[in-house]
């Protein structure tokens, strides 16, 4: 009889414990997932130094070369040159052009209202001849140089710098929203944990807090793992809008960093979660 009463009390205590923690676990998992994702986005996709480093990898160099040369072919068409598979600038020159675009797009700046300086910088890179130039590439460089004052506007048109300027301004707005969202998440998480640890005994609160972190890590591995697989599951080069297809190919490697971060969160959280496990 006494044993039965103890079992009933334990079940009631366990149920009260679950009911007490129920309002905290899911919001905490969501807040941690959002907070880590936003913080990593600030350090990766919105960080010009990181993005310039990312395009230097062997696989991304190929993607960047394809992207820049697609615009160079368009430039060749505008100036009356030939546009085909032999009309290619070197990987080094393509990367130099992409570095300029990354600085313009992801650098710390206010809203852009002019793309002339970027167009002039790209034009200077294009007009530099290389030993590996084919006759067609040399011809395009020569014809662009003869355009004189209109060359800047031709480059801006060929590389869709109006779209790049729009993306740069969107990046600025997103960066501001990100910073505000991170601040709100931190405040909300601190308030949530303070309330939880104030109402529930420390060991139980710690156990469930770690469970929330584990869920956050799991969803990071799941969501960003699927995003990283997009270039494998489909041909992203067919997405021509704003070079988004090429961006997805480059971003797939960065999403793997997010997956690794999720795995680290999951493993680190699992240790105190197990250590603070309640007796069954």
Which is higher by pLDDT, 126 or 192?
126
Identify the pLDDT of residue 1.
44
- With a CB cutoff of 8 Å and minimum separation 6, the contacts of 270 are 210, 214
**Whether the Cβ atoms of residue 92 and residue 150 lie closer than 8 Å to each other:** no
Identify the pLDDT of residue 97.
94
Identify the pLDDT of residue 245.
78
Integer Cα distance of 72 and 184 in angstroms: 44
Integer Cα distance of 250 and 151 in angstroms: 30
Identify the pLDDT of residue 80.
79
Residue 114 CA: distances (Å) to CA of 66, 71, 123, 168, 261: 26, 20, 16, 11, 38
Integer Cα distance of 205 and 118 in angstroms: 54
Least confident range from 38-42, 97-101, 129-133, 161-165: namely 129-133
Burial state string for 192-215 with b = 16 or more CB within 10 A and e = fewer than 16: bbeebeeebeeebbbbbbbbbbbb
**Percent of the chain clearing pLDDT 70 (strictly above):** 82
Would you place residue 149 in the very low, low, confident or very high pLDDT band (cuts 50, 70, 90)?
confident
pTM of the complete model? 0.81
Question: What's the start-to-end Cα distance of the chain, in Å?
Answer: 20
Take residue 224 and report the two structure tokens written for it: 């960003």
| Residue 243, Ramachandran bin (φ over 0: left; ψ between -120 and 50: alpha; else beta) | left
Element (H, E) at 225: helix 202-228
pLDDT digits (tens, 9 = 90+) for 20-65: 555 677 888 888 899 999 999 999 989 999 998 888 888 888 888 8
Identify the pLDDT of residue 232.
83
Asked whether the CA dihedral 43, 48, 49, 55 is positive or negative, the reply is positive
Which is higher by pLDDT, 139 or 204?
139
Take residue 148 and report the two structure tokens written for it: 């004189």
CA angle 218, 11, 271 (to 5 degrees): 30
Would you place residue 2 in the very low, low, confident or very high pLDDT band (cuts 50, 70, 90)?
very low
pLDDT digits (tens, 9 = 90+) for 79-95: 876 666 666 788 899 99
Would you place residue 155 in the very low, low, confident or very high pLDDT band (cuts 50, 70, 90)?
very high
**Percent of the chain clearing pLDDT 90 (strictly above):** 36
Give the residue among 240, 262, 243, 241 at the shortest CA–CA distance from 251: 243
Integer Cα distance of 8 and 137 in angstroms: 83
User: Please, what is the average pLDDT of the chain?
Assistant: 83
Identify the pLDDT of residue 15.
47
Which residue has tokens 């944990």?
193
Identify the pLDDT of residue 21.
53
pLDDT digits (tens, 9 = 90+) for 239-278: 766 677 788 888 888 999 999 999 999 999 888 887 766 5
What secondary structure does DSSP assign to 39-76, as a single string?
A: HHHHHTTT-HHHHHHHTTSHHHHHHHHHHHHHHHHHHH
Give the residue among 212, 185, 180 at the shortest CA–CA distance from 196: 212
Would you place residue 13 in the very low, low, confident or very high pLDDT band (cuts 50, 70, 90)?
very low
- With a CB cutoff of 8 Å and minimum separation 6, the contacts of 268 are 213
pLDDT digits (tens, 9 = 90+) for 191-237: 887 877 776 666 676 777 788 888 899 999 999 999 999 888 877 76
């Amino acid at each position: 009889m006494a044993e039965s009463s103890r079992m009933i009390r334990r079940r009631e205590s366990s149920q009260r414990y679950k009911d007490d923690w129920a309002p905290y676990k899911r919001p905490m998992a969501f807040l941690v997932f959002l907070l880590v994702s936003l913080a990593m986005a600030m350090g990766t996709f919105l960080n010009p130094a990181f993005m310039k480093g990312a395009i230097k990898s062997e696989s991304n160099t190929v993607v960047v070369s394809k992207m820049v040369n697609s615009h160079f072919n368009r430039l060749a068409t505008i100036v009356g040159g030939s546009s085909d598979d032999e009309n290619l600038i070197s990987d080094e020159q393509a990367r130099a052009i992409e570095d300029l675009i990354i600085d313009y797009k992801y650098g710390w700046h206010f809203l852009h209202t002019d793309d002339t300086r970027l167009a002039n910088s790209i034009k200077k890179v294009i007009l530099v001849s290389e030993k590996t130039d084919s006759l067609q590439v040399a011809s395009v460089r020569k014809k662009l140089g003869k355009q004189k004052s209109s060359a800047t506007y031709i480059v801006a048109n060929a590389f869709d710098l109006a779209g790049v300027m729009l993306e740069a301004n969107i990046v600025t707005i997103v960066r501001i929203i990100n910073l505000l969202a991170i601040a709100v998440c931190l405040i909300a998480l601190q308030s949530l944990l303070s309330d939880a640890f104030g109402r529930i005994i420390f060991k139980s609160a710690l156990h469930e807090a770690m469970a929330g972190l584990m869920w956050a890590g799991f969803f990071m591995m799941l969501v960003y793992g699927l995003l990283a697989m997009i270039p494998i599951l489909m041909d992203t080069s067919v997405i021509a809008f704003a070079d988004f297809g090429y961006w997805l190919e480059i971003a797939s490697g960065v999403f793997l960093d997010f997956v690794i971060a999720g795995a680290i969160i999951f493993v680190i959280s699992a240790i105190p979660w197990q250590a603070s496990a309640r007796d069954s």
